[in-house]
Amino acid sequence: MSTDTSRNQVRPELPAGALREQVEAVLSVDQPRIVAAGDPVLRRPAVDVDGQLDDDTLGRLIATMRRVMHAAPGVGLAAPQIGIPLRIAVLEDEGVQDPVVAQARSRTPLPFTVLINPAYEAVDHSLHAFYEGCLSVPGYQAVVERHARITATYTQPDGVTVTAGFEGWPARIVQHETDHLDGRLYLDRAIIRSLSANSEHGRWAQPTVDDARRGLGF
């Protein structure tokens, strides 16, 4: 079952010069802010990267996104989250130390990965449900069902387009960040009855969502 809807959406036109100015304005700040839900940039499909930025500017943007992601901290960040409407996302996850949690979530380490113009397809119909949070929706987490195995096609910073498989938690991160590039937040896919403030989330999150299903009734 394909989940690639990105090619079917109309993206706004943005002159290349205006986009470059927007990128340079963001890069002029030591630590760009992460925009929050309610900002229109998070609700509009981002535009394909298609030569608008030279290699140096693209490299500086990627490095800045990685720095912002680490500082947040988070395991993924899409360019719209710092106000840039381009189809770029950075991902990196060291995994977790608890082997029970790691196994339950299929949370294996994900090395630093840059997705440019990504699209993905589910490998099968298997879905996994876990809590997710979002740097643009601070203070809350909710359960989202995601495909357990996907195949993603994307361009790397060196210009090479690759197709790679992702499973478990890395697959969840790819899907979450690709949603950002399509103008979606994780709450659009969430089981809303599971929504939990961070102060309450700890009681439900480990290692599965079974207790949350019983306690919150979903």
70 among annotated binding-site residues: no
Is 180 one of the annotated binding-site residues? Answer: yes
CA distances from 79 to 102, 104, 163 (A): 28, 30, 21
Annotated binding-site residue? 176 = yes
User: Which residue is it, tokens 């643009």?
Assistant: 136
Catalytic residue check, 177: yes
Report how far Cα 205 is from the mean position of its chain's Cα atoms.
Answer: 20
| Catalytic annotation, pick one of 21, 24, 177, 200 | 177
C-beta of residue 107 within 8 angstroms of C-beta of residue 168: yes
Regarding beta strands 88-93 and 140-147, do their DSSP bridges make them parallel or antiparallel, or are they unpaired?
Answer: unpaired
Dist. CA 23–CA 13, nearest whole Å:
16
- Known binding-site residues for Fe cation equal 134, 176, 180
- Known binding-site residues equal 134, 176, 180
Active site residues per annotation = 177
